[in-house]
């Protein structure tokens, strides 16, 4: 397959995924269940993609768990996204340094 065939196939697939709901659902959705389901789909997908990376993309799983706990604590306290991200990175860095010292 040539590169142009692949690009056209990907463009067509992306277009169909976005255009199909517009043609199928012409009226507004009135079901509260369907509306709430569609509202939470992006959050569920983002969580499913992010959570394994948090735990397995560090040298030691304990540093990923520490970062997750720090992020959850700061997020529940209402801190900004930048604060949560920087504190989580710092938690990973500190845990990695401690683990490298002991191993």
CA distance 4 to 100: 47
Tens digit of each residue's pLDDT (9 = 90 or more) over 2-21: 899 999 999 999 998 888 87
pLDDT band at 68 (very low <50, low <70, confident <90, very high): very high
**If DSSP codes are grouped into helix, strand and coil, which group holds residue 78?**
coil
Burial of 65 (0-12, 13-18, 19+ CB in 10 A): middle
**Is the pTM of the predicted complex or chain greater than 0.85?**
no
Tens digit of each residue's pLDDT (9 = 90 or more) over 76-96: 999 999 999 999 999 999 999
Structure tokens at 21: 């709901």
CA distance 86 to 15: 37
pLDDT of residue 91: 96
């Amino acid at each position: 397959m040539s590169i142009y065939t692949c690009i056209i196939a990907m463009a067509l697939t992306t277009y169909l995924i976005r255009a199909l709901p517009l043609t199928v659902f012409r009226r507004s959705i009135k079901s509260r269940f369907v509306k709430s389901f569609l509202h939470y789909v992006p959050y569920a997908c983002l969580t499913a993609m992010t959570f394994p990376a948090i735990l397995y993309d560090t040298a030691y799983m304990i540093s990923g768990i520490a970062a997750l706990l720090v992020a959850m604590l700061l997020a529940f306290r209402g801190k900004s996204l930048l604060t949560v991200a920087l504190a989580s990175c710092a938690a990973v860095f500190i845990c990695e340094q401690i683990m490298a010292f002991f191993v």
